[in-house]
Amino acid sequence: MRYSLRGLTATAAIALLAPVAAQAQDKKPLTFGELQTIRVMAGGMVGEALGQALGKNMLGIIANRSAICSTLSGGVGSGFLRTNAKGAITMESIREAVDVTAAVERMLPADALYLAFGGEWKKEDNVALLEKTLEELAVNQYKGTIVFHVTTWAQKQPQEIAARNPRVAAYLRQADIRVGTLNLDAKKAVLNKATLEGDQWKLTPIGEVPMRDDLVALFRRA
């Protein structure tokens, strides 16, 4: 049997390029709608987990006033109510520092407080709002559970604030804190208890929920 060198070359080239093409397809930039889709799906998943794991009936949410974080917050709130028949939520979105005091004051009755600062805003703008929020929580000695959003934690926003702000650090050392993290390889979202001991953070996994394949696929493209 005779083989065509040209045919083999073409076949080999296609075989070599196929993984590259597949990878390029996988990394196709997300549309803004897909960015919101991630937040709807992830927010609902997080909210359901909080409704089941926290044992709290009133969840407060403070987020920056961006389309992305607003979408996320809606998912978190609806997921929390879906798994907590006696649950209630209240939400505040803040644009600048002058919005923070009133937002925190409204959240003080909440059993738990979800802080979401990310989205399409610059990190430094989110950090400034989060720092002001944590300062107000410290002033009011808020005793409920504080939950840091996955992106807020992954960007090391609270870690950087605690490292430079002694008053916030002292408050966080005695606060009840939860943190969300993702394990895309295992297709799991993990809820952790976070403690600040001295200047070192420690995460202890306390629960996990499976992630949908389509959500994982979107995250991998992000």
Tell me the pLDDT tens digit for each residue of 125-171: 999 999 999 999 999 999 999 999 999 999 999 999 999 999 999 99
- Whole-prediction pTM value? 0.86
**Cα separation of 58 and 111, whole Å?**
5
Tell me if 26 is assigned to some domain.
no
Tell me if 148 is assigned to some domain.
yes
**Cα separation of 51 and 67, whole Å?**
24
pLDDT in tens, 42-87: 999 999 999 999 999 999 999 999 999 999 999 999 999 999 888 9
User: Does 188 score more than 70 pLDDT?
Assistant: yes
Amino acid at 94: I
Cα dist from 125 to 96, 132, 172, 194, whole Å: 9, 11, 21, 24
User: Does 24 score more than 60 pLDDT?
Assistant: no
Tell me if 103 is assigned to some domain.
yes
Tell me if 184 is assigned to some domain.
yes
Instruction: Sheet containing 58-64: give its strands across.
Output: 88-94, 58-64, 112-116, 145-148, 176-183, 188-197, 200-210
Beta strands 188-197 and 176-183, pairing class: antiparallel
User: What is the CATH classification number for the domain harbouring 144?
Assistant: 3.40.50.2300
Q: Are 135 and 168 in contact (CB under 8 A)?
A: yes
DSSP 8-state secondary structure symbol assigned to residue 214:
H
User: Which domain does 41 fall in, by range?
Assistant: 32-221
User: Does 3 score more than 80 pLDDT?
Assistant: no
Number of folded domains in the chain? Answer: 1
Tell me if 133 is assigned to some domain.
yes
What is the phi/psi pair of residue 38, to 5°?
A: -55, -45
